[in-house]
Structure 1
């Protein structure tokens, strides 16, 4: 196989001295999303009822521990770019994958609520760092005609992690809850080792970010996109954290049934990025986002009033598909709004990810609080999630109407 240079191509088509196979860089990004999000975050969902059942923590405490990962994700999203400006991105990425793996292993010992909370927080920070840095680091060093496919492969790692956690967790739980955490940790460490040499050594050019971004990032539509992406994040929380618990304890259908729906969620997540990207290629990123909002709002609210197996499968699959599938749509929309400004696009993506993480963490804690105080009213969570995504659609339509009005007045 032909080797490509790891660095960005210059205006003559030449490249930097570092050699790396494109598929190895893409594989590293895939492993990063699989470890940082697929395992470190989403494996907790099918484990939540088992943690409560084993009396490691109460139902309320277990829900708050799930939200701790989202708070850490926000921290990681905020610190990722500063870290990468002082260290090589591949060094930060390697450390983040190691931290996520160690955090999973540490959760095998429920020493105390504080211990567990700290490690769940650190796993989230690692995931946030990986989310902000992995794809841009890899895609900058991939030939332009292969970046679309590479992007889809990278984000498919999230879905594979979800599906893997839904199938592996029930099997590992036969050996014990502690053994389950240890098994997931060993898997994460193996993937970290697999990705270790695949990261490009040279950092993308980030010069003059502050000179470009303030002038461009203040556009009305970009601010609206930040708000939409954050609200979409909040709308995904009921399924991301409480889906399995809802099936197991809310519907009293058992852990095996809950894990099955989580596998369906993961299968949706595996194909979501590719399907959403294909949709955007056909109808444009702006229109594709609106379609995504409508489909998500409808799918999120389904468990509030329809709990038959068929409806729950539809809900799990669609929400699962858009959990990672919304990412390439927002990335593409940012590129549309900031055409010909690659540096500004990277900075805007960091801002969008921070907003996503912020509202997702707030929503996670708020919904955990509401579930605890309402005596287990899961329907309320799904109604609120659907309302958040519907509001994102309203903001998008209002932003477009405002822009049309401004253009008409010129």
Structure 2
């Protein structure tokens, strides 16, 4: 019993570090990617965009994210994982600032692409840092750390939902000031992440030859399912506000809906954490994707305000837990030296899906003549991904807390 308080104190410190590093998904996802949906209507109206032009900016962000994921492991080898993570948060924050300074479409495309590149570095490498910090401890504690980390995206969504509509309401729709607010939030989060790096464990990045030669088939089914997750989830978060407005939902209610989605995303781990720990990464990911599909289709099947908010709770409370389950699955399947490479590989697969997803859903909606049909397609893609991931084989963690080698 004499040693337990020290272990508990160390565990608490690790949780604080994971919470501080959650600045990575807060900036890269909560602010740079998802908050765009709140500012898009004002930008499109002020700048005279078509909906295809507005959608192309989201495609640019997703494409940049894909490029950043491809470069994450090499950058970590060159700079160190911690420095590369911090660089990603800084690049993303500067891209938010650039977005607030111009109405030029070409420059905005560049800014959104840069936000995607930096966001991938911050997101992937931050996850690697948290995974390393949790190594050697209880599996449940390590999974909790990852849940806290990914919950940062929901925190960013909640902050954006609270502040951006408030700024738009009081500045006659000044989308530039909305981006300034996001920049300030990103800068604060980056400073917090930088301070947390003093207390992190730097994972050993794989050698270039090891990174190139490892067997991708060990996470092949998981990554294939994760591709379909990218296809399905991003379409909901891109089009759901437009769908709600089609149903006559006002802007204030939309803002509340967005806060509900963000708050649910932050708290989702407490609902699904035990399931992930009990089932393992890949099986839990499949279950969560089916739940996510139900939430995605619900507002189309039941066009009542209560169903919209239930949908927001389900989707918000589930989509980040899919990412947590994926990360646990990678940890279970690969040795610690390959966690960064494995996360980067799975994220590239995911990036392909989320790059295609908004365009595919929008195209299908145009063909059918219904945005709701696009959401139903997204739900179907999520179910297909859940089935596709099932052949993935879980490998039990070694006694030291890491996956078997």
The 10-residue stretch of structure 1 (280-289 or 190-199) with the greater mean CA deviation from structure 2: 280-289
Aligned partner of 1:144 in structure 2 is 137
Distance 1:217 1:122 in 2: 28
Aligned partner of 1:183 in structure 2 is 181
Distance 1:107 1:129 in 2: 19
Shift of 1:215: 5.7
Q: How many residues align?
A: 379
Match of residue 346, structure 2, among 345, 349, 352: 352
Contact 2:243/2:371 (<8 A) preserved: yes
DSSP 3-state at the match of 1:163: helix
Shift of 1:24: 5.6
Aligned partner of 2:359 in structure 1 is 365
Aligned partner of 1:14 in structure 2 is none
Aligned partner of 2:85 in structure 1 is 93
Q: Residues 32-181 of structure 1 correspond to what in structure 2 (within 5 A)?
A: 32-55=24-47, 57-142=49-134, 144-145=137-138, 146-174=141-169, 175=171, 176-181=174-179
Shift of 1:72: 1.3
> Structure 1 segments of 4 or more deviating over 6 A?
1-4
Distance 2:100 2:362 in 1: 23
Distance 1:213 1:277 in 2: 33
Distance 1:376 1:66 in 2: 22
Distance 1:397 1:353 in 2: 18
The two structures have a TM-score, normalised by structure 2, of 0.85
Contact 2:291/2:318 (<8 A) preserved: no
Match of residue 381, structure 1, among 369, 374, 380: 374
Instruction: Summarize deviations over 1:113-136 as a string: whole Å, max 9, x none.
Output: 111111011111111111110021
Distance 2:227 2:74 in 1: 22
Match of residue 228, structure 2, among 226, 231, 234: 231
Distance 2:98 2:267 in 1: 31
- CA 1:374/1:256 → structure 2, altered by over 3 Å: closer, same or farther? farther
- CA 1:393/1:105 → structure 2, altered by over 3 Å: closer, same or farther? same
Distance 2:122 2:325 in 1: 19
Aligned partner of 1:13 in structure 2 is none
- CA 1:43/1:333 → structure 2, altered by over 3 Å: closer, same or farther? same
- CA 1:54/1:347 → structure 2, altered by over 3 Å: closer, same or farther? same
Aligned partner of 2:273 in structure 1 is 277
Distance 1:256 1:134 in 2: 34
Distance 1:95 1:213 in 2: 24
Aligned partner of 1:316 in structure 2 is 312
Contact 1:269/1:322 (<8 A) preserved: yes
Shift of 1:286: 4.1
Return 5+ residue gaps in structure 1 as ranges: 7-20, 401-410
Contact 2:231/2:381 (<8 A) preserved: yes
Shift of 1:31: 1.2
Shift of 1:87: 0.9
DSSP 3-state at the match of 1:157: helix
Q: CA RMSD in A?
A: 2.7
- CA 1:24/1:333 → structure 2, altered by over 3 Å: closer, same or farther? closer
Contact 2:19/2:152 (<8 A) preserved: no
Distance 2:151 2:203 in 1: 23
Instruction: Summarize deviations over 1:212-267 as a string: whole Å, max 9, x none.
Output: 88464324xx311111011011110222111112222x223222222222112112
- CA 1:269/1:2 → structure 2, altered by over 3 Å: closer, same or farther? same
Return 5+ residue gaps in structure 2 as ranges: 394-405
The two structures have a TM-score, normalised by structure 1, of 0.84
- CA 1:289/1:61 → structure 2, altered by over 3 Å: closer, same or farther? same
Shift of 1:202: 6.3
